[in-house]
Amino acid sequence: MEGTMSDTMIPRSKPRHPGLANGPVYLDYNATTPVDPRVIEAMSPHLTEFFGNPSSSHPYGAEPRAALADARAELAALIGARPHEVVFTSSGSEADLLALRGVVLASNRSRPHVITQVTEHPAVLETCRALERLHGGRVTVLPVDGDGLVDPAALAAALTEETVLVSVMAANNETGALQPITELAALAHEHGALFHCDAAQAVGKVRLDVGASGVDLLTVVGHKMYAPKGAAALYVRDGVPLEPVVYGGGQEHGLRAGTENVALAVALGAAARLADEELADGTAGRIAALRDDLHRRLTTALPGRVRLNGPERRRLPNTLNISIDGALGHELLASSPEIAASTGSACHSGARIPSPVLTAMGVSTERALGALRLTLGRWTTERDITVAATALARAAAPN
């Protein structure tokens, strides 16, 4: 098949992850990443030897307390924050809740106004609906264009004196579309509103600096960047008022009570340190080259049938969302046991529902049902791309 890239153009991947050794080619890194063995090594002592409560003043609390501080500093370094601005949480959904509910309740407005956009993660959209239902909030949901991007002019038109928060994700989990965060944050600030960014998919894949981008709150998720599930954080710019999401003992600067899970915090810190190193060593370029090679192989094998969903350039380096004319995404994957990937559609009562993200972008139902989300990562190899392209091309070939 034409379109193969040479080893000189695609640097070699990391040594194979043990969890990927005997299974199908894994192309679902945006759903979750394998835990890096180096992350496991960093966190393991805090599941066994260093068991103490970090709030304890006796010697058993000293090592956990120091490890928690180190992890906070490592994550802060990755996103350009200060350590005391990092709040550890149990998930990205919890971090989003703390940001949105926290700002709304701390605003003391009778009818606080929140602005988000239609392709946000459900953790944001459902929280916004709850704010309307439970706290008297008013929510504006902005549309997106054919690439899945918010028009800054639409945000400018929606902002009012009652707007307390704008929440727009950094990168879409299905298409990889990268929103113009810096411009949107600046517009929010011009109207006295705070800006929250769910960066679950972006952190570790692209360089993101909270100071340069102007965000006030930023969600980070560990299992999207080679740490275990259950490890996440919210960046809270110094001085931003928030109502806590969990009340009690005053941990995490009083914003999330409960004894910290030191092992998971250490894991997130280690993952952040590794991500920082990879952003500097060109790993993103290697992954982008593999992604483009997969796209090229498929378009060569299926001429005129492969459609890219989302922006061609303004997207994550690891994400390829395509539709293949005349094929359904879930059927293609069912016929390609050699690979593990996903579609954006869902099945309800036996009927397939197209991806709300693609539908919001104006993609037709037929094309949306044909969509495949193919996402690469740290351990993706050139051989993986060959296997995946061959399997999908065979499954999509006319009978």
Handedness of CA 168, 173, 179, 181 (dihedral sign): positive
The candidate with the shortest Cα–Cα distance to 300, out of 208, 166, 180, 392, is 392
Active site residues: 347
Within the chain, strands assigned E span 25-26, 86-89, 113-117, 138-142, 163-167, 194-198, 217-221, 232-236, 306-308, 319-324, 339-340, 346-348, 351-353, 371-375
| Cβ proximity of 311 and 147 under 8 Å | yes
Amino acid identity of residue 160, one-letter, is T
Question: How far apart (Å, rounded) are the C-alpha atoms in residues 201 and 195?
Answer: 17
Question: How far apart (Å, rounded) are the C-alpha atoms in residues 385 and 308?
Answer: 17
Task: Write out the two tokens for 279.
Answer: 């952003």
- Side-chain-side CA neighbours of 205 within 13 Å: the count stands at 30
- Other C-beta atoms closer than 10 Å to the C-beta of 6 total 7
Q: Which residues contact 351 (CB under 8 A, 6 or more apart)?
A: none
